[in-house]
Amino acid sequence: MINRQALYHMTRKGKVKYMSENNMRKNILSPSILAADFSGLGEQITEAARAGAEYLHIDVMDGVFVPSISFGMPVIESIRKITNIIFDVHLMIVAPERYVKEFARIGADSITFHLEAAEDADALIDQIHGLGCKAGMSIKPQTPVETVRKYLSKLDMLLVMTVEPGFGGQKYIPESTERIRQIRQMADEQGLNLDIQVDGGITQDNVKMVMDAGANVIVAGSSVFKGNIEENVKKLMAQF
């Protein structure tokens, strides 16, 4: 049986790119549009993709699971028309199982939900996979890392929040580094080539540190969209 986690990373339009044994875990930059200028969102997405970003991180907040409200389905559906970049959708919402089908329909390639918000995490992972999307799970900074162990073999990605979810522009929580390291160790013990994503306070100064700890999918908001986008992307990816 093919190990789905170990042998591919997602390419747009449902295609699968198989990777050599020596290059099975790829380092990926996922710029977060939460930090973008929405008056020129399409242009900024194009700039990030042109510079080499492969994913686009899309934070969906409902004002309930987290205090803030961001954007929803109409925005995602609109920007799907202008780019083939991978849509990495992060649901910071209650009852995510109610909405994943619609997010898949409008163009999500990867859907990440919060363990803390899921009624039945196993069933939700299966639901996301059944929709043809990669399944990710996220945990808040105060959620013990041990709680994710039993899910890792079913997941494509585990997102370690390195700030409290709900607001952009926060400082990286130093204790996150050890949490990343522990989850990578769990994955290695199970023989999994799991993607580990980090989100929050990632800059050119600490990106190498989180990658050394085991992260390989890097969410960056202000570090990409504040200033020259193409230069920022290239500087971050130079450390990959």
| Active site (catalytic) residues | 59, 199
Instruction: Match 């990777």 to its residue by tokens.
Output: 19
DSSP letter at 171 equals P
CA dist 159 → 75, 129, 199 (Å): 23, 17, 7
CA pair distance 212, 167, nearest whole angstrom: 26
65 contacts: CB under 8 Å, gap ≥ 6: 92, 93, 94, 114, 116, 117, 165
Q: What is the residue-wise DSSP string for 178-199?
A: HHHHHHHHHHHHTT---EEEEE
